[in-house]
Amino acid sequence: MKQLLPDTGRRDLSADELWGAYGSVYDASHSAGGTDSGRGTLPRVVANMVTSLDGAATIRGRSGPLSSEADQYLFKLLRAQSDAVVVGAGTVAVERYRRVRLPGELAGRRKQAGLGSLPPLVVVSRLLALDFSTPPFTDPPDEAGGLIVVTTPSAPAEQMEAAAEVADRLIVADGPDFPADVTSALGEMGLERVLCEGGPRLLHSFLRSGLVSHVCLTVAPLLAGAQELSLLGPEALERPLRMDPVHLLEQAGWLFMLLRVSATDA
């Protein structure tokens, strides 16, 4: 066992070191992402989530109370390193999601790394029970990333029309594994660094489909008791998934874990 706390004199990471520590997840080799015989070339998918010590994904329905200043910085840093930010319909509605924007410092780093224009927000919904008269669908595109909506043929035609009007691209996927369809459609668009920001139900399905290579998990120093949603939503995974720690950072009591999804079950 190694002692991590109390602090034994380790210094804070610089902004350059943080950028490098998280950027490496998109390059590291792993069974998820890359070429898969049945699915063609899939992008690398990294998930970013925050949880309480007892596994709550929300407090009174929102994730904000679990976050911290450092968590917000990492949230944006991960966006700055991605080609696309994928989010489920539930989170878009509850968290009043917007198209992706970045603060100047991270936009500069992104530019320097040659990562191209801002990542599009990819809203994933099989049934499109979404209000297209609210953000992010009404966000002006200037100075923000694009907007992609991915759905299935089960969505009502009028909702598809509404989505097509506001999105830069509407993708209708009709394969047997919707999360894999989403990622392969993004891969075909050349979007190879995919960040999944949840929510719990969407993350559960991405993990179940074996698509996620790494999870960036912030653990807030809070007990929340029974809340509406736990980290992976209401359904159990068939088998526990082993997660191997890549690094563990700490700031003001918040823990920042970078975990690699193990190729084998626990």
Ligand X SMILES: NC(=O)c1ccc[n+]([C@@H]2O[C@H](COP(=O)([O-])OP(=O)(O)OC[C@H]3O[C@@H](n4cnc5c(N)ncnc54)[C@H](OP(=O)(O)O)[C@@H]3O)[C@@H](O)[C@H]2O)c1
Residue numbers at the binding site for ligand X (CB under 6 A): 49-50, 57-58, 61-63, 66, 88-91, 94-95, 124-127, 129, 178-179, 197-202, 205, 229, 233
Judged by CB, which is closer to ligand X: 62, or 242? 62
Of 220, 219, 92, 81, which Cα lies nearest the Cα of 147? Answer: 92
94 or 172, CB closer to ligand X? 94
Query: Phi, psi at residue 202, to the nearest 5°?
Result: -70, -45
CB-based burial of residue 76 (10 Å sphere; 0-12 exposed, 13-18 middle, 19+ buried)? middle
**At its nearest, how many Å lie between ligand X and the CB of residue 230?**
9
Nearer to ligand X, 222 or 246 (CB): 222
Which two structure tokens, joined as six digits, stand for 168? 């830069």
CA-based nearest residue to 150, from 116, 115, 191:
191
Least distance CB 62 / ligand X (angstroms) = 5
Phi, psi of 194 (to 5 degrees): -105, 125
Of 79, 23, 17, nearest to 48 by C-alpha is 79
Distances in Å between the Cα of 266 and the Cα atoms of 69, 243, 244, 259, 262 are: 33, 8, 10, 14, 8
Which is closer to ligand X, CB of 20 or CB of 156? 156
Closer by beta carbon to ligand X, 33 or else 179: 179
User: Shortest gap between Cβ of 1 and ligand X (angstroms)?
Assistant: 28
In the complex, the smallest distance separating the C-beta of residue 48 from ligand X, rounded to whole angstroms, is: 7
Q: In angstroms, rounded to a whole number, what is the distance separating the alpha carbons of residues 30 and 32? A: 6
The least distance separating ligand X from the CB of residue 91, rounded to whole angstroms, comes to: 3
Nearer to ligand X, 120 or 179 (CB): 179
Q: State the minimum distance, in angstroms, from the CB of residue 205 to ligand X.
A: 3
Please report, to the nearest 10 degrees, the dihedral formed by the alpha carbons of residues 242, 87, 187, 171 taken in order. Answer: 140
